A = this chain, B = another copy of it.
Amino acid sequence: MRAIRHTLRIALATAVLSIPAVASAQPAPLPSWNQNAVKEAILAFVEATTREGSPGFVPRAERIAVFDNDGTLWVEQPMYVQLAFALDRVKALAPQHPEWKSKPPFSAVLAGDLKALAASGEKGIVELVMATHAGMSTEEFAKIVTAWLDGSRHPRFQRPYTEVVYQPMLELLAYLRQKGFKTYIVSGGGIDFMRPFTEKVYGVPPEQVVGSSIETQYEISNGKPVLMRLPKIAFIDDKAGKPVGIERFIGRRPLLAFGNSDGDQQMLEWTAAGRGSRLMGLVHHTDEKREYAYDRSSDFGRLDKALDEALAKGWLVVDMKRDWKKVFAFEP
């Protein structure tokens, strides 16, 4: 509550002075955000933390901004993109694994029986991931991911997944970088599934991507060093794992954090507990027409406890329908 109150206070104090000054120098930031209190809170926070002489000024080196990926930067419905990848890989690899026809959870995937797949639970999903994400070198895996992203389409929008990304969030990433922030992705998704596209799509280089990972092993193969991907989980960057991942990879507490689900709750709490003013944001999926509407009972990207905490503590809740002028760049 204090953080947002502080933010709004600064907004009132600085809006008249600083925002027009910026607008005259370059195009107004965040054009796909509607002009309302949410957009103003973001602009005011960034101005207050980056304008020299401001009481809330934060040195450039400490301007760390972290973003969840699934549901925060790109679409996570009707299922996580990485799960769609795993299912497609099972189908592609099935001819080499005749035993999969009668072996759950593979049999469920091959029969297109998503209900049976769901019944296989987390154990089943982990089995699918290991069968499709391990057993090759890191370089081979990156090529497989890139080829799949190039060749597949989102079932509803009929666009490559890398186009089904939120235009307002791309603008926020770019605006923050322009203001000296270092933008990171901190996702429950696989780090090696994201790195092949994050630089091109989000402007986030591989070294600023934090995610879940499996073990790799250094080997010499035909006289050449390779890192082989092993079917063993190394780190799960979700829920209470997100602050752990942030501390391990970045070693600084974020100044700004954006998520959209209960998987981001601890990351936002960890951010909020830092000294001075911090910005914690949630993307609330409220727009069935342009995207999807879901929260407390969704299988993917459930937003329940984190929404309660956000409302109680005055974190920024972005209402997609109300706050975004445009959701995707490809909209008419």
Taking Cβ atoms with an 8 Å cutoff, the residues of A that contact B are 61, 64, 138, 182, 191-192, 195, 199, 205-207, 209, 213, 216-218, 224-225, 227, 234, 240-241, 243-244, 247-252, 266, 269-270, 273
Contacts and interface: CB of A to CB of B under 8 A. Distances in A.
Nearest to A207: B250
A206 B182 CA distance: 13
Oligomer: number of copies: 2
18 contacts: A61-B205, A64-B207, A182-B207, A207-B250, A207-B251, A209-B251, A213-B248, A216-B244, A216-B247, A217-B244, A218-B240, A218-B241, A218-B244, A218-B270, A225-B270, A225-B273, A227-B244, A249-B249
A251 B213 contact: no
Contacts of A199: 61
Nearest to A195: B251
B266 A243 contact: no
A224 B253 CA distance: 14
A266 B225 contact: yes
B248 A207 contact: no
B269 A206 contact: no
A182 B206 CA distance: 13
A61 B203 CA distance: 11
A244 B217 CA distance: 7
A217 B227 CA distance: 28
Contacts of A217: 240, 244
Contact of A249 (B138, B207, B269): B207
Given A207-B251, A227-B243, 14 more contacts: A61-B199, A206-B250, A206-B251, A206-B252, A207-B249, A207-B252, A213-B248, A216-B244, A218-B241, A218-B243, A218-B270, A225-B269, A225-B273, A227-B244
Given A225-B243, A273-B225, A248 B205 contact: no
A303 B205 CA distance: 34
Contacts of A182: 207
A221 to B, nearest CB: 11
